[in-house]
Copies of this chain bind each other. A is one copy, B any other.
């Protein structure tokens, strides 16, 4: 069931904030990523905030968290189909950034 809310609000409510778009982009470019690797790639984010954002993305069904029962722990994050639907958005952002002077 779809609500009638503005599509832009629907987007910003799920993917707003400073880190979610960069996090999704990092995972998307790598297929799947471990926590530590995301922490390296998305520069400047603290581990606390990273876990918060990942939880939010998981709750909104944008990423899948797969935990391996190993020691030391291993967790891999990958995109859901829903998040893969954002590919066009990422591509449009990429185009825009390249045509605009920064």
Contacts and interface: CB of A to CB of B under 8 A. Distances in A.
B88 A92 contact: yes
Q: How many copies does the complex hold?
A: 2
A95 B102 contact: no
A-side interface mostly: helix
Interface in A49-102: 82, 85-86, 88-102
A7 B29 CA distance: 13
B89 A7 contact: no
A2 B96 contact: no
Interface size class of A (residues with CB under 8 A): 35 or more
Interface in A1-54: 1-3, 5-12, 16-18, 21-22, 25
Given A7-B97, A10-B102, 15 more contacts: A2-B98, A5-B102, A7-B96, A7-B98, A8-B90, A8-B93, A10-B97, A10-B100, A12-B22, A16-B16, A85-B99, A86-B96, A88-B95, A89-B92, A89-B96
